[in-house]
């Protein structure tokens, strides 16, 4: 019985993380804030629900498999996030107007997509700003 | 079994195949050499005349396609013999004549081949006992005549005429085929000799009349009966020997032959008498009227041929013993003089370069032999004694006078027609040869003997036939008439019948004819002004019909095969929905749906609704990549449903495939242009509604099917035996690699092909064109 | 050496997947891992030392950060005005190798509220998006003394 | 050894072999001759085995029917396989010269064999889902063959070909899912027993209609044929000849199979629909042909038209009708393939497929004229060629069933067929060479490997006419087997039920 | 692509994916998985490598042309069917070794067939993706 | 209180997250926004799978999560690849 | 649930078909893919739903009686794989078409259909290849 309670609580905790991530995704003002907030939280949430499953079955084989899943998530999700964030930056996805600082601005060289630490202020590093909103509906 | 008939046909076919080579080897004598075969066959068959007269019938049978009623079954009786002799005899002459007429023509070899092919086919028609074999040869005559009419194929007129003849006779032939098959199915046999014996049984069938009408259509078109007569004058585009052979002496008489051949079955019916006689009379008048006004020798002869064919059909339609006798006699005499006159016309054309009768005169000095042949043939055509034509005309009048209750009409008609024949024979046989020499494109020389001998022979035979009717004409006429009537008939022919109404009519005919001949120019001139009437004629109808058919075909094809994928899909969807709906509603009262939908949970609702929303969103999006992303939602949603309902393998594949599809799409899509809205809102609405009928159909089917009780499934076997027999716990996988591994074998083949396809498609693009790809900018 | 360890890890992963740590599975996992590594990593060799204690302490640190950040995030997201102060901050790093950088970046990203956007081509600077950039200097210091230092220790 | 399997296995083996010989085009060409000949031999031996009416069966994987997948060869299947073998051999020979090095280097022969494999699989399988799989194999191969080369027209034609055929597959698959749900089995023999027991005939008929449309698209019947005239004229002639001989015929085969074995619960409705659609198919197809100037387009529309005849025999649903369809199938495959091949030779000789740009062939190329005339006249149903007997058989069957309307239509259409064949004749052969004609290349057309297949196809048409009795007898026997679905079921299921 | 992080991640993720793909293949007969999904995962490994580095690198690591994989896969699948056929039983009759091997479990022609599927799937997926990406 | 209710509660929360993620997916506005939303959906899907496994006592379901965990990031990378290449 | 899934099936079919009727070739292909999904769900649903009973024989058991029908699952798996191959090919075909012909508007891809009579001035340009 206790185990089931623990399972339920871990599960709800995980679900809550995921829900928070979703709310964040919806509410955050720009892409980068959304990314900061969400997929990671959701990953964590998913990990917790997985953990709940491991506790629920409490069988070494299943536990090991759950751990494998969690590790796989930890290995892959940040890479994906990094890739999409970087791509978005190239794409000129704008930062929220309330953003306080942008150290990255002007550091990507557009010709070969290299990130140069001491970039000069030159058109070579100017990424055109994308437009907010697109023609998704019409 | 008589081997001569099939051998004759076979030999002619073989010779036809070798004709071009013989022509190459012996360019000067080929025609003469090849004429030996038909001449020999002519003599062979002539030798059978007495036996046939005595009622003997020569038959030959060979199994062909019995299951389809086609038996290679031949049959030589009096009717067949008369026709065979004409075909072979005139054929031999035409071969000789043609070799000279077309001397030096580079396609002379083909000419021989086609004439011989035609000869074989025609011989086949008249000796076939099996209705379907007859049809086989019948169609062969159409094809060989098509090739012959289009001999001067580089002229558009020739091609037009060839096609016209082919379509008209071919169309009739098809109707005839249906009629023959009907007849065969009613009678249970396709052997004409047997069918001829069971007229009463056949007539009892409700299908008898349709069969008759269909066969009649075949006969009428082939024999150029009104309103199908128009192809015959057109066919004069063929070289003159062809016209002489096909369009006067033989092929056009195939219809007459068929009517004669089948008259034992049909002739006792009122429909036969009305229709056949009626068509004959109409054709006769039409031919006569159309002949007036023609100045081209061949056209003139062609229209009189139409008229004569009408006469024969009319006589056959009347069907009395006398009428049959008249018909056979008329047929025989017509073949002789018309063949001769065509050949004469050819010789004149050959030597002078024109066939315009108004320009021809005084040729007797330059072409005496030709003039002689022309005069003799004209004598017969005009029905003057002592030619055979005279006797034929007398017998014809005898028939019309006896034809109660319409003897007045028939006789009057015959009178007019015969008078016209007198006039035309004057125009063809006298006018070009007498009087002062006219101006012609070529200076006339005597025609070579090979051009003159054949018409002389034919015309001379016509004269001799009149002089010795009982020796030369009566046996053939008797034999054929007996065959038509399937009863013995004694035929007596004499030049002098004494003073009788027929003779009076003949005199009247001659008077009228001479009057017409003398005053031909004003009459011709007057009719020339009536040419516009032709616009309402069948020839024009054919042309307009063909043009409209072409136009309709183009219009319809453009409408259907319009290139719009949207239209194609709509058609498919609506067809499916209509057929499926029709099928379901046909045998069920309303829809049987399920009322127990099974338990449902909120998270399932969320999944379902999300999938629906995602799908609907796709219709509204203009961003390609967003579409892919949303497709992902649909895919993931479905995967979760699969998982939930016990299909983890499916869910796994679905997840994996979704990911790969995204990669694939992304690799492809940045080479594709962005979406643009191209369709108008009403069209989109229409599309959506059509698509919805498809969707609705599937929804309803799902509900109907799931409302049914569960039947025993073969899967039970898989669930029970996967582990014990196939050593696997994952039943789905065991099905995939073992129980139904064969499906998977095909499946990986498809995959392999897809791989090769993508590779080949990208690496090998022959029609490559550089396209400036606009940067994707929709997001 | 690394390859061997990687191979051992793969053998363990195999056994984890198949949920059986019996010798045949381990051996098979090892052989399979060997094959796969032969296919993929050939020709790269680096020394490797076990740092179990450091790893453990590092994990503890990371879990602490994770929970803290998650709670912060929950508060932020659920607040009516969210009170965001986002920014992209360049954080200088001096890590010994690419693996260390990757680990750092992954951990930063996994922590709610921060997102490692990229590493400069000379591997001397990591650019991090944070939801709390009210004081960039403070953030840099926090990162360097927390994550960066501990990762560096792990790889020494 | 099960000979039933061989026609399917041989192409697969040769797919593998030609794939391994990817970089050796000459070897691939040799393999194509070997493979197609082997296929023909296998088909002939199967034909010999089943010609007495026996039904040869093998259970793949040794799983008893209806659980595993069954391969079944009745006489109808064997006849279709034999035709396939003949077409394969002749197209393989034609391809020696008719397919360029580039295409061979990019997988033509593996695709060729895959197409054959799909076709043979479809003819052999006794499982409705497995039929779907072989359809897909065949389609996928044909997709690639259609587009292989990437010429402009090819790509454009392939797009529609692919999309519309996939629509058909979609419907096929849906119908199969529903069928499984209703009957609980996929084995066609089992289905033939179970479907009459389904106490909702309306539903079964509805499923039948779904199959009708699905196969109807593949068979290119009215009003579902659009993909065919849009695409068939675009690939190389050898490919079109292969397609014209086999692809649509697999659709017809499937229609025959399901409408003689499975869907017999409402014959009055289903087969009347077939008959009506058959009539429209004939007419619309031939009118389409009449409107064309490109020889390949013209012939493509004729394919549609001829499919109508095949449908007619099925719609009559009598032994004679089915026999006619089978006979007609053999005829039309030979005649149509011959015509496409001849069109290819004309193109090589005169430089164009467009009737307005060619001419004078009758004068200069008498042998080509004969080569064309035989299949053309056969197609138009002129005696004594195969087409006549096909037409005659259909007319007889139609009249025997009292279906006068369809007989009338079929005869009228045969006249129009003649008309459009004469169109090619008049334009390409009789007409003088037009001014705008491309340069002539007399020798290009007369390679043995090009002429022989065309000649052989034409001769087949003649032989089918001369030997109409035995061939029709075979077709009739095949039809007899088809008319007794119980035989099929017993052969497949053995003593099970 | 110029990302260091991806480049590094690919180095450890690729072996992992390959091991996992074999896992799926071997376990497919008894647990969920199988040759098809295994093949997809294996292909994913090489695709990841190709994205992180470039296609030429991925091809080098693969060593054989994807087309050869397809051909071999078909050959293996075909042979697995022929084994039964050549012993006089119907094509694709499953033949099994008596004793199960460690790790893999029972060995039989269906498993061999699944290996063929695996190879074909890897070959096809890579052939498609590589060809597209190289353009 | 029945323990199942808690499981359902968890599922409800995840489902709600799914709805929110979907809204973001549709709203965008940029492509990366959508990709991030998809990423979230993937995570939520893993959560749902785990919940299913618990709810229906089916450990086999967990295996499916493995493949999502290992493969789905490739989709995101592909999107990133696209976005970077089109610039 | 059957009702809901039936509606989902209908919607997927509708949207799939609707997209196939668009003028943009890319949309057409998306429609085809949706159609594929719709069919899979159709087979799955008509194969009768059985919640959370995968056809996996538990360790120690010889067979399994109460489970989801494995056959539709196998059929769908086969169908998914086939449609993956076909989709890949179709996508590349679309792309090549666009590269070579310069358009992916289906309304501009009509040259192989429409009959010459309606072509501007009859005789077309020379065909490519054989
Ligand atoms: Na599996
Ligand atoms: Na599998």
CA–CA gap between residue A96 and residue B460 (Å, rounded): 116
Neighbours of ion ligand 1 (CB under 5 A): B 649, 730, 733; E 28, 34
Contact E13, E48 (CB under 8 A): yes
- CA atoms of E65 and E123, how far apart (whole Å): 8
**C-beta of residue G56 within 8 angstroms of C-beta of residue E96:** no
Asked if B615 is an interface residue toward chain G (Cβ–Cβ < 8 A), one would say yes
Close Cβ partners of E106 (under 8 Å, ≥ 6 residues apart): B727, E29, E96, E97, E100
What burial class does residue B182 get, using C-beta atoms within 10 Å of its C-beta: 0-12 exposed, 13-18 middle, 19+ buried? buried
Q: Which of B714, B708, G46 is nearest to D199 (CA)?
A: B708
With bands split at pLDDT 50, 70 and 90, how would you rate the model's confidence at G130? very low
Does residue G129 register a pLDDT over 50?
Answer: no
Structure tokens at B347: 């010789």
pLDDT tens for residues B14-47? 999 999 999 999 988 899 999 999 999 999 999 9
Measured between beta carbons, which residues in chain D are less than 8 angstroms from residue E93?
61-62
φ/ψ of F69, rounded to 5, equals: -60, -35
The secondary structure of D319-363 as a DSSP string is HHHHHHHHHHHHHHHHHHHHHHHHHHHHHHHHS-SBTTT---HHH
Q: B534 — contact with chain E (CB < 8 Å)?
A: no
Q: Does B511 touch chain E (CB under 8 A)?
A: no
Asked if the Cβ–Cβ distance from G52 to F52 is below 8 Å, we say yes
B722, pLDDT greater than 50: yes
For residue B747, give the nearest of D160, D114, G92 by alpha carbon: D114
Residues B777, B263: Cα–Cα separation, whole Å: 84
Number of B to D CB contacts under 8 A, please give it.
304
Average pLDDT of span B533-542: 82
The alpha-helical segments, DSSP class H, found in D51-151 are 75-98, 101-105, 108-124, 128-147
Question: Closest-lying ligand to the alpha carbon of B728?
Answer: 1
Report how far residue D296's alpha carbon sits from residue D232's, in angstroms, rounded to the nearest whole number.
Answer: 8
Lowest mean pLDDT among B165-174, E50-59, E101-110: E101-110
pLDDT of D372 higher than 50: yes
User: Quick check: E36 and G88 CB within 8 A?
Assistant: no
pLDDT in tens, E3-54: 888 888 888 889 989 998 998 998 888 888 899 999 999 999 999 999 998 8
The domain limits of chain B are 269-529, 537-561, 565-726, 727-779
> What is residue B771's predicted lDDT score, i.e. its pLDDT?
45
Helices (H), B382-406: 388-402
Q: How confident is the model at residue D210 (pLDDT cuts 50, 70, 90)?
A: very high
Radius of gyration of chain C (CA): 19
Q: What angle do CA B736, B742, B745 make, to 5 degrees?
A: 85
pLDDT at D285 over 80: yes
Candidate from G54, G81, G88 with C-beta closest to E128: G88
Give, for E10, the enclosing helix (H) or strand (E): helix E4-27
Contact assignment for G52 to F60 by CB distance below 8 Å: no
Please, are residues C29 and C11 in contact by the beta-carbon 8 Å criterion?
A: yes
Tell me the C-alpha distance between B619 and B677, whole Å. Answer: 11
Percent of chain D with pLDDT over 70: 99
Nearest to F18 among B610, B656, B662 (CB): B610
**What is the topology classification, in CATH, of domain B565-726?**
1.20.120
The pLDDT of residue A127 is 61
How high is the pLDDT of residue A125?
66
**Cα D177 to Cα D169: distance, rounded to the nearest angstrom:** 12
pLDDT attached to residue G122: 40
Average of pLDDT values for D417-422? 93
DSSP character at residue E63: -
> HSE-up of F80 (CA within 13 Å, CB side)?
28
Which pLDDT score, from 0 to 100, does residue B339 have? 93
Closest-CA residue of chain F to B621 = F26
Q: Which of B226-230, C139-143, D309-313 has the highest mean pLDDT?
A: D309-313
Are the Cβ atoms of D181 and G47 closer than 8 angstroms? Answer: yes
Q: pLDDT (tens digit, 9 = 90+) per residue, B87-138?
A: 999 999 999 999 999 988 888 999 999 999 999 999 999 999 999 999 999 9
What's the whole-model pTM score? 0.93
Nearest CA-CA distance, residue A10 and chain F, Å: 10
Residue F17 and residue F14: Cα distance in Å, rounded? 5
Mutate to test the interface with E, among C32, C48, C93, C110 (most CBs of E within 10 A): C32
Task: Classify domain G2-50+70-120 at the CATH topology level.
Answer: Helix Hairpins (1.10.287)
Joined tokens for residue B165? 């003849």
The yes/no answer to whether this complex scores an ipTM above 0.85 is yes
Question: In the predicted model, what is the mean pLDDT of residues G36-49?
Answer: 94
Residues B425-430: what's their mean pLDDT?
A: 89
Which one of F77, F80, F82, F85 would you mutate to disrupt binding with E, by most E Cβ within 10 Å of its Cβ?
Answer: F77
Which helix (H) or strand (E) covers residue C116, if one does? strand C114-119
β partners of residue C129: C88, C115
3-state helix, strand, coil in chain B (%, to 5): 75, 5, 25
A63, A76, A101, A116, best to mutate vs chain C, most C CBs in 10 Å: A101
**Beta pairing, strands A101-102 & C87-92:** parallel
Q: What is the mean pLDDT of residues B65-88?
A: 94
Tell me the chain D residues in contact with residue B766 when contact means C-beta distances shorter than 8 Å.
102, 149-151
Q: How confident is the model at residue A132 (pLDDT cuts 50, 70, 90)?
A: very low
Band (B768; pLDDT cuts 50, 70, 90) = low
- Can you tell me whether residue D55 is helix, strand or coil? coil
CA of G78 to the centre of ligand 2 (A): 9
Give, as residue ranges, everything with CB less than 5 Å from ion ligand 2: E 34, 36
Q: Check pLDDT > 90 for residue B328.
A: yes
CA distance A118 to chain B (A): 31
Judge: B135–D143 Cβ closer than 8 Å, yes or no: no
- Reduce the DSSP state of residue D69 to 3 states and report it: strand
Instruction: Please report the residues numbered 46 through 75 in chain D whose beta carbons come closer than 8 angstroms to any beta carbon of chain E.
Output: 58-62
Mean pLDDT score, B504-529: 87
**Per-residue pLDDT averaged across B382-404, rounded?**
91
Q: Please, are residues A98 and C84 in contact by the beta-carbon 8 Å criterion?
A: yes
Confidence of residue D331 (pLDDT cuts 50, 70, 90): very high
Q: Which chains touch C (3 or more CB pairs under 8 A)?
A: A, E
Residue with tokens 């990406």: E133
Q: Which residue has the higher pLDDT, E127 or G109?
A: E127
How far, in Å, CA of D18 to CA of D27, rounded?
8
CA of E93 to the centre of ligand 1 (A): 19
pLDDT digits (tens, 9 = 90+) for D145-168: 999 988 888 898 999 999 999 999
Rounded to an integer, what is the distance from CA B320 to the centroid of its chain? 33
The stretch B530-546 carries a mean pLDDT of 83
Do the chains contact at G113 and D230, CB–CB below 8 Å?
Answer: yes
Return d(Cα A70, Cα A63) in angstroms, integer.
11
Q: How many angstroms separate the CA atoms of B741 and B732, rounded?
A: 11
pLDDT above 70: percentage of residues in chain B: 97
* Chains F and E touch each other (3 or more Cβ pairs < 8 A): yes
- Burial class from Cβ neighbours inside 10 Å (0-12, 13-18, 19+) for residue E65 reads middle
* Selected residue of C39, C99, C123, C126 to mutate for chain E interface (largest E Cβ count, 10 A): C39
Quick check: E16 contacting A, CB < 8 Å? yes
Under an 8 A CB cutoff, do E44 and F60 touch? no
Is the pLDDT reported for residue A73 higher than 70? yes
Residues in chain F whose Cβ is within 8 Å of chain E? 60, 63-64, 66-67, 70-71, 74, 77-78, 80-81, 84
pLDDT confidence bin for D330, thresholds 50/70/90: very high
Tokens at C58, concatenated: 């590092």
- Residue pair G19/B619 in contact by the 8 Å Cβ criterion: yes
CA-to-CA dists, residue B253 to B289, B303, B308, B330, G79, angstroms: 21, 14, 10, 12, 66
Query: Could you say which residues from 53 to 82 on chain F have a Cβ atom under 8 Å away from some Cβ of chain A?
Result: 53-54, 59, 62-63, 65-66, 69-70, 72-73, 76-77, 79-81
Contact status of E107 with chain G (Cβ, < 8 Å): no
Which chain F residue is nearest to residue A69, measuring alpha carbons? F66
What separation in Å is there between the alpha carbon of B743 and the centre of ligand 2? 13
What pLDDT score does C3 carry? 66
B736 touches chain E (CB under 8 A): yes
Mutation target to probe the G interface, by most G beta carbons within 10 A, among B598, B714, B752 is B598
Q: Do E2 and A114 touch (CB under 8 A)?
A: yes
Per-residue pLDDT of chain C (156 residues; tens, 9 = 90+): 466 667 777 777 777 777 666 667 777 777 787 777 776 665 454 443 345 567 777 878 888 888 788 888 888 888 877 778 888 888 888 888 887 888 888 888 888 788 888 888 888 888 888 888 888 888 888 888 888 888 888 776
CA distances from F44 to A7, F27, G54 (A): 18, 19, 22
- Calculate ∠ Cα B499-B501-B502, nearest 5°: 90
Per mean pLDDT, which range of C33-37, C93-97, D16-20, D316-320 is the poorest? C33-37
- The pLDDT assigned to B756 comes to 95
Residue E91 with chain B: CB contacts under 8 Å: 742
Query: Which of B408, B607, B237 lies closest to G8 in space, CA to CA?
Result: B607
Euclidean distance between CA atoms C152 and B749, whole angstroms:
52
Q: Would you list the domain boundaries of chain D? A: 266-466
- Cβ contact (<8 Å) for B553 and D291? yes
In DSSP terms, D294 is beta-bridged to D354
Percent with pLDDT over 70 in chain F: 97
For B171-213, the pLDDT digits (tens) are: 999 999 999 999 999 999 999 999 999 999 999 999 999 999 9
Query: Is the distance from CB of D331 to CB of D393 less than 8 angstroms?
Result: no
Radius of gyration of chain E (CA): 17
DSSP B268-289: TSHHHHHHHHHHHHHHHHHHHH
């Amino acid at each position: 019985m206790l185990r089931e309670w623990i399972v339920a609580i871990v599960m709800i905790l995980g679900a809550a993380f995921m829900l928070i991530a979703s709310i964040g995704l919806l509410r955050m003002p720009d892409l980068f804030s959304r990314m900061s907030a969400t997929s990671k939280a959701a990953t964590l949430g998913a990990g917790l629900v997985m953990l709940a499953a491991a506790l629920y079955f409490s069988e070494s084989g299943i536990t090991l498999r759950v751990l494998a899943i969690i590790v796989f998530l930890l290995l892959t999700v940040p890479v994906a996030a990094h890739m999409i964030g970087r791509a978005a930056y190239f794409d000129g996805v704008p930062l929220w107007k309330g953003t306080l600082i942008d150290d990255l601005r002007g550091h990507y060289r557009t010709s070969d997509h290299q990130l140069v630490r001491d970039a000069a202020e030159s058109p070579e590093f100017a990424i055109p700003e994308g437009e907010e909103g697109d023609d998704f509906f019409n | 079994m008589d081997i001569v008939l099939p051998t004759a046909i076979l030999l002619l076919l073989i010779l036809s195949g070798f004709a071009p080579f013989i022509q190459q080897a012996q360019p000067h004598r080929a025609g003469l050499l090849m004429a030996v075969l038909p001449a020999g066959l002519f003599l062979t068959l002539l030798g059978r005349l007495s036996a046939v007269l005595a009622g003997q019938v020569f038959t030959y049978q060979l199994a062909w396609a019995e299951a389809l009623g086609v038996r290679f079954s031949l049959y030589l009786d009096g009717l067949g013999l008369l026709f065979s002799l004409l075909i072979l005899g005139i054929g031999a002459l035409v071969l000789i004549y043609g070799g000279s007429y077309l001397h030096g023509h580079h396609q002379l070899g083909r000419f021989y081949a086609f004439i011989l092919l035609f000869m074989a086919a025609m011989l086949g028609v008249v000796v076939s006992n099996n209705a379907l074999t007859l049809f086989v040869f019948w169609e062969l005559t159409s094809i060989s005549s098509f090739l012959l009419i289009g001999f001067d194929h580089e002229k558009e007129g020739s091609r037009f005429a060839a096609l016209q003849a082919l379509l008209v006779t071919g169309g009739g032939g098809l109707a005839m085929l249906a009629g023959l098959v009907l007849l065969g199915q009613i009678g249970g046999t396709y052997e004409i000799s047997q069918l001829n014996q069971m007229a009463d049984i056949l007539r009892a069938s409700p299908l008898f009349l349709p069969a008759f009408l269909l066969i009649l259509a075949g006969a009428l078109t082939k024999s150029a009966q009104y309103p199908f007569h128009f192809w015959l004058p057109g066919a004069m585009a063929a070289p003159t020997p062809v016209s002489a052979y096909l369009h006067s002496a033989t092929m056009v008489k195939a219809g007459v032959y068929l009517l004669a051949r089948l008259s034992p079955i049909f002739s006792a019916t009122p429909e036969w008498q009305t229709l056949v006689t009626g068509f004959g009379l109409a054709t006769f008048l039409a031919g006569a009227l159309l002949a007036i006004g023609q100045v081209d020798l061949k056209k003139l002869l062609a229209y009189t041929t139409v008229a004569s064919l009408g006469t024969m059909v009319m006589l056959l339609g009347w069907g009395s013993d006398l009428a049959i006798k008249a018909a056979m006699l008329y047929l025989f005499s017509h073949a002789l003089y018309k063949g001769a006159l065509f050949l004469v016309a050819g010789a004149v054309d050959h030597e002078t370069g024109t066939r315009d009768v108004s320009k021809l005169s005084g040729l007797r000095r330059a072409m005496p032999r030709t003039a002689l042949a022309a005069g003799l043939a004209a004598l017969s055509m005009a029905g003057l004694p002592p030619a055979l034509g005279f006797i034929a005309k007398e017998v014809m009048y005898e028939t019309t006078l006896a034809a109660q209750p319409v003897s007045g009409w028939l006789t009057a008609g015959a009178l007019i027609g015969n008078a016209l024949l007198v006039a035309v024979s004057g125009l063809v046989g006298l006018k070009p040869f007498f009087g002062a020499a006219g101006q012609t494109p070529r200076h006339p020389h005597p025609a070579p003997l090979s051009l003159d001998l054949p018409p002389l022979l034919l015309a001379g035979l016509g004269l001799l036939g009149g002089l010795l009717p009982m020796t030369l004409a009566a046996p053939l006429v008797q034999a054929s008439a007996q065959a038509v009537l399937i009863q013995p008939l004694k035929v007596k022919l004499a030049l002098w019948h004494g003073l009788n109404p027929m003779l009076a009519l003949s005199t009247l005919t001659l008077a009228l004819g001479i009057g017409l001949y003398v005053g031909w120019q004003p009459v011709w001139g007057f009719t020339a002004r009536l040419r516009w009437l032709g616009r309402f004629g069948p020839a024009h109808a054919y042309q307009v019909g063909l043009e409209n058919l072409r136009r309709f075909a183009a219009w319809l094809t453009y409408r259907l095969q319009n290139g719009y994928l949207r239209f194609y899909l709509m058609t498919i969807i609506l067809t499916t929905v209509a057929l499926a709906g029709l099928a379901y509603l046909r045998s069920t009262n309303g829809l049987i749906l399920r009322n127990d939908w099974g338990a449902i949970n909120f998270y399932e609702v969320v999944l379902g609704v999300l999938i629906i929303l995602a799908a609907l969103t796709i219709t509204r999006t203009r961003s390609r990549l967003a579409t892919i992303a949303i497709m992902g939602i649909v895919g993931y949603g479905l995967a979760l449903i699969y998982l939930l309902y016990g299909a983890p393998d499916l869910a796994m594949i679905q997840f994996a495939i979704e990911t790969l599809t995204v990669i694939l799409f992304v690799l492809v899509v940045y080479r594709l242009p962005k979406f643009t809205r191209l369709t108008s809102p009403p069209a989109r609405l229409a599309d959506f509604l059509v698509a919805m009928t498809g969707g609705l159909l599937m929804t309803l089917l799902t509900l109907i099917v799931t409302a049914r009780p569960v039947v025993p499934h073969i899967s039970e076997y898989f669930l029970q035996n996967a582990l014990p027999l196939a050593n696997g716990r994952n039943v789905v996988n065991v099905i995939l690699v073992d129980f139904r591994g064969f499906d998977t074998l095909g499946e990986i083949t498809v995959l392999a092909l897809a791989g090769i396809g993508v590779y080949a498609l990208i690496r090998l693009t022959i029609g490559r064109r550089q396209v400036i790809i606009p940067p994707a900018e929709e997001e | 050496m690394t390859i061997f360890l990687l191979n051992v890890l793969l053998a363990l992963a195999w056994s984890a997947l198949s949920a059986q740590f019996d010798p045949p599975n381990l051996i098979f996992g090892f052989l399979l891992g060997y094959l796969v590594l032969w296919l993929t990593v050939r020709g790269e060799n680096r020394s490797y030392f076990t740092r179990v204690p450091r790893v453990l302490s590092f994990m503890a640190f990371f879990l602490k950060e994770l929970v803290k950040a998650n709670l912060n995030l929950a508060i932020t997201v659920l607040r009516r005005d969210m009170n965001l102060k986002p920014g992209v901050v360049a954080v200088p790093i001096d890590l010994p190798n690419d693996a260390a950088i990757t680990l750092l970046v992954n951990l930063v990203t996994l922590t709610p509220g921060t997102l490692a956007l990229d590493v400069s081509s000379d591997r001397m600077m990591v650019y991090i998006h944070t939801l709390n950039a009210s004081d960039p200097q403070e953030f840099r210091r926090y990162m360097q003394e927390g994550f960066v230092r501990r990762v560096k220790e792990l790889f020494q | 050894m099960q000979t039933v399997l061989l026609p399917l296995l041989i192409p697969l083996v040769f797919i593998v072999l030609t794939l391994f010989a990817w970089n050796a085009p000459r070897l691939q060409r040799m393999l194509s001759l070997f493979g197609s000949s082997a296929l023909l031999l296998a088909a002939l031996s199967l034909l010999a085995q089943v010609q007495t009416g026996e039904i040869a069966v093998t259970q793949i994987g040794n799983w008893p029917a209806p659980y595993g997948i069954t391969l079944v060869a009745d006489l109808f299947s064997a006849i279709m396989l034999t035709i396939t073998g003949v077409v394969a051999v002749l197209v393989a020979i034609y391809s020696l010269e008719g397919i360029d090095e580039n295409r061979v280097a990019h997988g033509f022969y593996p695709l060729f064999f895959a197409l054959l494999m799909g076709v043979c699989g479809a003819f052999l399988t006794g499982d409705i889902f497995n039929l779907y799989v072989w359809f897909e194999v065949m389609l996928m191969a044909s997709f690639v063959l259609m587009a292989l080369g990437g010429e402009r027209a090819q790509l454009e034609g392939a797009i529609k070909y692919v999309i519309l055929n996939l629509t058909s597959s979609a419907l096929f698959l849906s119908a199969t899912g529903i069928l499984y749900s209703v009957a609980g089995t996929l084995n066609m023999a089992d289905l033939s027993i179970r479907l009459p027991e389904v106490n909702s005939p309306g539903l079964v008929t509805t499923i039948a209609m779904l199959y009708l449309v699905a196969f109807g698209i593949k068979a290119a019947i009215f009003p579902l044929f659009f993909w065919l005239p849009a695409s068939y004229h675009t690939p190389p002639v050898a490919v079109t000849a292969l397609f014209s001989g086999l692809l649509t015929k697999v659709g017809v085969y499937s229609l025959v199979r399901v409408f003689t074995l499975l869907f017999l619960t409402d014959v009055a409705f289903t087969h009347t629909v077939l008959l009506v659609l058959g009539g429209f198919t004939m007419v619309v197809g031939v009118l389409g042909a009449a409107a064309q100037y490109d020889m390949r387009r013209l012939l493509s529309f004729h394919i549609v038209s001829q499919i109508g005849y095949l449908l007619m025999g099925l719609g009559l649903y009598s032994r004679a009708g089915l026999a006619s369809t089978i006979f007609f199938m053999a005829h039309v495959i030979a005649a149509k393939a011959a015509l496409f091949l001849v069109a290819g030779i004309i193109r090589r000789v005169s430089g164009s497929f467009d009737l307005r740009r060619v001419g004078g062939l009758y004068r200069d190329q008498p042998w080509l004229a004969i080569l064309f005339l035989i299949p053309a006249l056969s197609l138009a149903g002129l005696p004594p060629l195969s087409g006549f007997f096909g037409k005659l058989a259909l007319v007889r069957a139609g009249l025997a069933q009292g279906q006068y309307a369809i007989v009338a239509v079929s005869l009228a259409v045969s006249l129009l067929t003649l008309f459009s064949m004469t169109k090619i004749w008049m334009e390409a052969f009789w007409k003088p060479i037009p001014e705008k004609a491309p340069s002539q290349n007399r020798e290009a057309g007369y390679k043995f490997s090009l002429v022989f297949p065309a000649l052989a196809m034409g001769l087949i048409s003649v032989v089918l006419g001369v030997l109409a009795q035995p061939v029709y007898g075979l077709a009739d026997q095949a039809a007899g087997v088809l008319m007794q679905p119980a035989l099929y079921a017993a052969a497949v299921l053995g003593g099970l039920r | 692509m110029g990302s260091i992080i991806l480049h590094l991640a690919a180095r450890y993720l690729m072996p992992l994916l390959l091991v996992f793909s074999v896992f799926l293949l071997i376990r497919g007969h008894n647990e969920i998985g199988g040759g098809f999904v295994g093949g997809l995962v294996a292909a994913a490994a090489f695709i990841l490598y190709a994205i992180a580095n470039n296609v030429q690198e991925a091809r080098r690591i693969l060593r054989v042309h994807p087309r050869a994989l397809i051909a071999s896969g078909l050959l293996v699948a075909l042979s697995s069917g022929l084994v039964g056929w050549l012993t006089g039983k119907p094509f694709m009759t499953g033949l099994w070794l008596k004793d199960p091997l460690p790790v893999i479990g029972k060995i039989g022609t269906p498993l061999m067939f699944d290996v063929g599927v695996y190879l074909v799937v890897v070959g096809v997926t890579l052939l498609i993706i590589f060809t597209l990406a190289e353009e | 209180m029945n323990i199942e209710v808690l499981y359902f509660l968890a599922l409800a929360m995840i489902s709600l997250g799914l709805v929110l993620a979907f809204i973001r997916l549709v709203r965008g506005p940029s492509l990366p926004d959508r990709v991030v939303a998809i990423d979230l959906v993937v995570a939520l899907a893993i959560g749902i799978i785990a919940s299913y496994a618990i709810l229906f006592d089916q450990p086999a379901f967990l295996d499916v999560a493995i493949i999502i965990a290992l493969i789905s990031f490739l989709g995101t990378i592909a999107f990133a690849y696209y976005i970077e290449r089109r610039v | 649930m059957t009702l809901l899934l039936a509606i989902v099936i209908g919607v997927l079919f509708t949207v799939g078909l609707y997209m196939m009727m668009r003028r943009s070739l890319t949309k057409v292909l998306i429609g085809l893919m949706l159609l594929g999904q719709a069919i899979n769900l159709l087979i799955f649903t008509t194969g009768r739903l059985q919640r959370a009973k995968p056809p996996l024989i538990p360790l120690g058991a010889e067979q399994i009686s109460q489970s989801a029908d494995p056959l539709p699952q196998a059929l769908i798996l086969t169908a998914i794989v086939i449609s993956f191959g076909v989709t890949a090919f179709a996508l590349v075909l679309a792309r090549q078409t666009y590269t070579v012909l310069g358009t992916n508007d289906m309304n501009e891809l009509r040259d192989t259909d429409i009959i010459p009579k309606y072509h501007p001035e009859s005789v077309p340009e020379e065909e490519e290849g054989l």
